[in-house]
Amino acid sequence: MGSMATTTRFRWLWWVVAYVSLGLGLVGIVVPVLPTVPFILLAAFAAARGSEKLHARLLSDSRLGPMFLEWQEHGAISRRAKILATVMMAFCAILLFVITPKLWVPIAVTVIMATVCTWLWLRPEPDGH
């Protein structure tokens, strides 16, 4: 049983992961503690395996399509996306420290965001960025 059979067998799971990730990524645009870029990239990755229609739609989107293509072809993330994600995570960390009564919560979330931020900056950038 090959890789294609495994992918086909779990297509429904990839479909669910794609749509849930896309939803979380979109919510992350307005909710401070959810990182947008990793969820959107996960949505594209999962859609390629579970929903040809969603995958094609994501790739053809005028705003997100170029980001998906760079990620899909080179594993690259633009410097602009990295900076935006870093600024948003820093803002969220500060906000959490200001509004959260339990100190362990903003510390834990900040550690997670710092890990995501580190991973993000270790990704290559597209040529010309």
Q: Which domain holds residue 108?
A: 3-122
For residue 128, being part of any structural domain is answered with no
For residue 11, being part of any structural domain is answered with yes
Mean pLDDT throughout 86-103? 90
| Range 71-74 contact pairs with CB under 8 angstroms and sequence separation of 24 or more | 71/41, 71/44, 72/44, 72/48, 74/124, 74/126
CA 52 from chain center: how many Å? 19
Q: Is the pTM of this model over 0.85?
A: no
21-36 pLDDT per residue, tens: 989 888 887 776 677 7
For residue 37, being part of any structural domain is answered with yes
Q: Average the pLDDT over each of 8-17, 24-33, 74-83 and give the range with the smallest value.
A: 24-33
Alpha helices (H) along 51-103: 52-60, 65-74, 79-99
